[in-house]
Amino acid sequence: MKVTENMEIEIIEASLLDYLPHYEAFFSKVGFKRIEGAVFGVLVYSPRALASDEIEKILGLSQPAVSSALKTLSTYKMVLTKDHPEIKRMKIHEANDDAINIVSNIVKKRELEIIEEFENITSESLNLIKDEKRKTRLTNILTTTRFAKSLSEFIISISKELDNPYMAIEKFPVVTKVLKNSMTDINQLKSGLKTGLRNSFLNIVSKIENEKHNGAGK
């Protein structure tokens, strides 16, 4: 996408605009349109909220194209829209700073629905199979699908249950190491994955934070 170079006021540094093609490519690879990646990239790099016409000028796009992209981005809460503080009936747009909430909404609205649909058809077809070879194959697929579903629900729960999910994300490598060392019963992991993994994660994060605070108070 061609970025307009001659603007009356440089809102975003040219060096940052050079990175927009990477946003376009990334969004395209994960199922969005390239134009949506470009618009999101502009708002990420902008030091202030932008009106639609400003986005149009920066990217050299039409009003309908930008409007459609903003609508999609708003659906997944990637972009926040509000009234202009001074100009009546003008809306301005900015990138949502809460990245985990963005990922949570994408997982909830897209990936989780697809996973649940595949889980259902796999479960139904499994009931129609009699021989052990195909039963084992379908059971493995179903188990893996439910594991993916649990991870998706876990991501969603992180943004809802923690006041500061970013602290938890930063600690995630430590948490997974502790969980790995504490896994002694794989059957228990399978049966309690949805609640057990989430609760273990939250408890470990809480323990880490308590130790951090206790250390600071000494």
Q: What is the pLDDT of residues 108-131, one digit of tens each?
A: 888 888 899 999 999 999 999 999
Could you give the C-alpha distances from 111 to 94, 103, 125, 190, in angstroms and in order? 25, 10, 21, 21
Cβ atoms of 159 and 106 within 8 Å: the answer is no
Is pLDDT of 34 > 90? yes
Q: Specify the length of the chain in residues.
A: 218
126-183 pLDDT per residue, tens: 999 999 999 999 999 999 999 999 888 888 887 776 677 777 667 666 666 666 666 5
Query: Angle of helix 52-59 relative to helix 63-75, nearest 10 degrees?
Result: 110
Residue 138: C-alpha distances to residues 120, 187, 188, 193 (Å): 12, 18, 21, 20
Q: How confident is the model at residue 60 (pLDDT cuts 50, 70, 90)?
A: very high
Single-letter amino acid, residue 89: R
Domain chopping of the chain, boundaries: 14-95, 99-217
CB of 109 closer than 8 Å to CB of 76: yes
Share of the chain above pLDDT 70, in %: 71
State the residue for tokens 């188990």.
Answer: 143
Residues 64, 66, 67: CA angle, nearest 5 degrees: 60
For domain 14-95, the CATH architecture is Orthogonal Bundle (1.10)
Strand partners, 81: 93
Torsion of CA 12, 75, 154, 120, to 10 degrees: -140
Q: Give the mean pLDDT of 66-76.
A: 95
Q: How many CB atoms lie within 10 A of CB 46?
A: 18
Question: How many other CB atoms sit within 10 Å of the CB of residue 188?
Answer: 11
Closest CA to 76 of 52, 104, 118: 104
